[in-house]
Amino acid sequence: MLKRIKVKGYKSLRDIDVELPPLTVMFGPNAVGKSNFLEALQLLSKITAGYRIKDAFYQPHRAKPLECFSFPPEGLEGLFDKQSICLSIEVDFTLSDFVVDSVNSQIEGFRPLSEVDEFFEIGESTELDMVNEPRMDGCVLKKHDLRYHIEIEMLPKMATLRVKDEYLVPLNNKGEPLGGKGWYRYSFLVTRKRLDDSRLMLMREYPDVLMVRSAGLHHSALSQSYDPRHYPYLIAARQEIASWRFFCFEPRERMRIPDPNKPTWHIGPMGEELPTYLHTLKLDSLLRLESFENALRIMLPKIDSIETYLDDRGDIELKVKENGVSASARSLSDGTLRMMALLAVGGTKESPPLIGLEVPENDIHPGRIQLLAEMLKTQAIFTERSQYIVATHSPILVDWVPKKSLFAVTNGDEGTRIEPFTAFGPLGRWFSTDLPPEDVDDSMDEMDPDSLRVSERILRGDFDD
């Protein structure tokens, strides 16, 4: 779970530091930075997944690399006059159970040479017998709270992107780096020195050995391959962040095209590959497909069933039977396809630890928005399958979401500001007392039973700058 994110120098996110609950719903006017917030997380996920730094800034990432750095007062032209510009992203997160299990399984998969020799009935000693076998204790991941920081530098005149700084450090139960001021001695990964074409990285090898390794400037050190027996936390952190998924559905074209036949356990970022995902469930997980159909009937009661089949060209076609009549994906409404995509996102075999959704309410009937909110709460809060970060323009959705999950997004001279709803007073003013915002908010509701809904306050302009 992502507990906190700090971003500096990325588009309108000049300097933000936000603590996040399991369900985060951001609301605010257009062009205040909601999409930029999701894109910053997506950029970090791509960087840790192994992309070259420059490649991570391209599709589906919006804007050219230079345009992703915060503008000075002179605008884009002012960036060209600078020798160097930087952006940084820092996240505090807890490793997911499936990530911990996955890494420990990798470690346990390494068998000692003595066992290998016995399995293959090798009796003669070899040079390999003289190698000191590493310890392979199970469940070596013990510190599950981590902080990862990366700083990206660009040389505008040379159009060069490179990593300037990077570290991964364990956190204590207060959310602070272990070791206090000497935290770097406890870090799993930290940049110690920059050379002309590489970085010297201080890395903690399991259990307590510090190593110095070289890393390139054009990849994050976290994205590289390591032996899980020696660097389990690097493997786990990379897998956690790289598993984040972000979606902005495009039902007009992307979700209507037949897909080539292949096993697919996740739909694409724009909703593509929905037919192959459902076809995979049909072949390999019929119970999960039935659960999907049951959930879809709750959202859209007139739907009887969904069908997938191979056409004459070997592509997967999707059909939906409604009131006994089948209709292909090409003729379905945009709202129906969006509903199906939303259910597919949260119903995968291994749910992503974090899911980002941009305006999921688009094309959905206002009477179904409450069901959308209930689905988000079920997935993120009640079952804790995935953490959700949602950007919305729906005044209805915010009324059905817990207030502790709501965040108001504004944009002023200092860039984007993201603040919890509970930090606002009944008239939109900031609280200036020492009383915890949550307590103040609850007392206001109790004292004033006729208090306005969140949607009414948004329309009244309480949260606008």
Residue 461 lies in a domain: yes
Give 290's DSSP letter: H
Q: Which of 174, 102, 107 is nearest to 145 (CA)?
A: 174
Query: Do 383 and 452 reside in the same domain of the chain?
Result: yes
Structural domain range at position 289: 260-350
Specify the pLDDT at position 333. 94
Query: Do 22 and 156 reside in the same domain of the chain?
Result: yes
Residue 254 lies in a domain: no
Query: Do 188 and 233 reside in the same domain of the chain?
Result: yes
Indicate the pairing of strand 160-170 with strand 145-155. Answer: antiparallel
Specify the pLDDT at position 438. 44
Query: Do 144 and 159 reside in the same domain of the chain?
Result: yes
Query: Do 319 and 409 reside in the same domain of the chain?
Result: no
Residue 12 lies in a domain: yes
State which of 306, 334, 350 marks the end of a domain. 350
**What residues contact 90, with CB distance under 8 A and at least 6 apart?**
5, 6, 7, 147, 148, 149, 150
Residue 253 lies in a domain: no
How many domains are contained in the chain?
2
Q: Could you read off the pLDDT of 46-96 as tens digits, one per residue? A: 999 999 999 999 877 889 999 999 999 999 999 999 999 999 999 999 999
Count of other CB atoms within 10 angstroms of residue 300: 18
Residue 250 lies in a domain: no
Query: Do 17 and 69 reside in the same domain of the chain?
Result: yes
Query: Do 159 and 289 reside in the same domain of the chain?
Result: no
Q: Which of 396, 416, 410 is nearest to 464 (CA)?
A: 410
Q: Could you read off the pLDDT of 394-427 as tens digits, one per residue? A: 999 999 999 999 999 999 999 999 999 988 866 5
Specify the pLDDT at position 352. 93
Query: Do 285 and 414 reside in the same domain of the chain?
Result: no
Query: Do 215 and 298 reside in the same domain of the chain?
Result: no
Specify the pLDDT at position 135. 47
H-only helix segments in 285-426: 286-299, 334-346, 369-377
- Model confidence, pTM: 0.90
Place of tokens 């199906």: 340
Query: Do 206 and 266 reside in the same domain of the chain?
Result: no
Give the Cα separation of 379 and 35 in Å (integer). Answer: 22
Query: Do 267 and 206 reside in the same domain of the chain?
Result: no
Residue 255 lies in a domain: no
State which of 296, 329, 350 marks the end of a domain. 350
Contacts 24+ apart (CB under 8 A), 418-427: 418/16, 418/18, 418/26, 418/33, 418/37, 421/454, 424/462, 424/463, 426/451, 427/462
Query: Do 239 and 281 reside in the same domain of the chain?
Result: no
Q: What is the DSSP string of 388-438?
A: EEEEE--TTGGGGS-GGGEEEEEEETTEEEEEEGGGB-TTSPBP-SSS-HH
Specify the pLDDT at position 78. 95
Q: Could you read off the pLDDT of 221-259 as tens digits, one per residue? A: 999 999 998 899 999 999 999 999 999 999 998 899 999
In the chain the first and final C-alpha atoms are separated, in Å, by 31
State which of 331, 350, 369 marks the end of a domain. 350
Please, are residues 150 and 89 in contact by the beta-carbon 8 Å criterion?
A: yes
Residue 164 lies in a domain: yes
Please, are residues 423 and 390 in contact by the beta-carbon 8 Å criterion?
A: no
Residue 182 lies in a domain: yes
Look up residue 10 and give its two tokens. Answer: 């990325």
pLDDT < 70: residue spans in the chain: 111-139, 142-143, 207, 425-450, 465
Nearest 5°: the CA angle 223, 227, 229 is 130
Specify the pLDDT at position 385. 86
Give 366's DSSP letter: G
Specify the pLDDT at position 189. 93
